């Protein structure tokens, strides 16, 4: 790759946005080198550079998921608000095809003003979670981005709380382990494992055994019942809240099925699904969890 575009981009960016402009201009130089014939206007290159960070996040696991691409398109629409749609589509295509390094993405994150950085981080996460999960390659990319950017990890953790409940994932893994399962399991697999385990440990099926063995079986049966109830409920919704359509903070356990709530992240309106899916329900726009811990 020629470095001419990067050098020009740094110069232009520094003139437009100061120190942050230099970092963004460096990334924007990709399009100066790769699109000389198109002559992308100088005033939109920094917007392309910001969008490139999100596009790089979408491709972190080696592919563009359709939902990630849809999320990127929504972000591009916001970034290029006021520009003709056909022009935005052209620029969006150029971003999809460009290759931006992790170090360059980190430079943009690092030099953003403190008040703007949380918005960028939130949108990065919204792209990564657009397909409903954060896989190992995406997690590795994200961890490196935090490290290379040299920014406060606590800020990333705060933003991540809108998308992930690590404790509940651990609890689910433990509950599955009690049933002799691991990894992703279907509802039918969970039910089958629970029924089989109950047959093994139910006191009525043990016959003539010693009192200590019977007590161990009873304890095991209690563990099985607790694990199964947890998995059936979708997890523990205690301490989780939603923002209702009336702009009131309400405990998740008190909301009704199909109730309209606001996303705590992007503030768009969403309708909750069936009750058993409340805990895992996500915003249809930014894919943040609709129920979060207060504070």
> Tens digits of per-residue pLDDT, 227-253?
887 777 655 566 788 999 998 999 888
Number of domains in the chain: 3
Residues in a beta bridge with 240: 293
pTM: 0.68
Q: Please state, rounded to an integer, the average pLDDT across all residues of the chain.
A: 79
Residues in a beta bridge with 260: 271
Residues 152 and 259 in one domain: no
Q: Write the DSSP symbol of residue 38.
A: T
- Domain region containing 221: 167-233
Residues 142 and 224 in one domain: no
Q: What is the pLDDT of residue 209?
A: 67
Residues 155 and 192 in one domain: no
Question: What is the rounded average pLDDT of the residues 120-136?
Answer: 92
- Examine the pLDDT at 37 and tell me if it is beyond 70: no
Distance CA 2, CA 40 (A): 17
Last residue of a domain, one of 105, 125, 160: 160
- Examine the pLDDT at 131 and tell me if it is beyond 80: yes
Q: What is the pLDDT of residue 63?
A: 84
> Tens digits of per-residue pLDDT, 199-226?
888 777 766 767 777 788 888 888 888 8
User: Beta 260-262 vs 249-251: how paired, if at all?
Assistant: unpaired
């Amino acid at each position: 790759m020629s470095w001419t575009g990067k050098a020009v981009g740094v110069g232009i960016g520094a003139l437009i946005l100061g120190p942050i402009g230099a970092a963004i201009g460096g990334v924007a130089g990709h399009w100066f080198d790769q699109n000389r014939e198109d002559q992308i206007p100088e005033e939109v290159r920094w917007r392309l550079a910001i969008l490139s960070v999100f596009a790089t996040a979408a491709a972190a696991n080696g592919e563009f998921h359709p939902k990630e691409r849809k999320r990127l398109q929504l972000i591009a629409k916001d970034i290029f608000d006021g520009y003709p749609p056909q022009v935005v589509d052209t620029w969006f295509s150029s971003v999809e095809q460009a290759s931006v390094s992790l170090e360059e993405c980190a430079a943009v994150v690092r030099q953003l003003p403190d008040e703007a950085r949380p918005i960028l981080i939130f949108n990065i996460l919204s792209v990564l979670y657009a397909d409903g999960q954060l896989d190992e390659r995406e997690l590795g990319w994200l961890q490196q981005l935090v490290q290379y950017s040299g920014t406060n990890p606590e800020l990333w953790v705060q933003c991540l709380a809108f998308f992930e409940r690590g404790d509940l994932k651990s609890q689910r893994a433990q509950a599955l382990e009690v049933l002799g399962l691991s990894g992703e399991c279907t509802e039918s697999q969970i039910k089958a494992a629970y029924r089989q385990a109950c047959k093994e440990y139910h006191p009525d099926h043990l016959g003539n055994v010693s009192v200590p063995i019977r007590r161990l079986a009873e304890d095991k049966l209690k563990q099985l019942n607790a694990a199964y109830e947890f998995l059936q409920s979708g997890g523990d919704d205690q301490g989780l809240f939603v923002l209702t359509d009336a702009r009131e903070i309400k405990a998740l356990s008190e909301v009704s099925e199909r109730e309209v709530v606001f996303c705590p992240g992007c503030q768009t309106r969403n309708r909750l699904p069936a009750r058993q899916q409340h805990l895992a329900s996500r915003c249809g726009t930014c894919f943040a969890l609709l129920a979060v811990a207060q504070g």
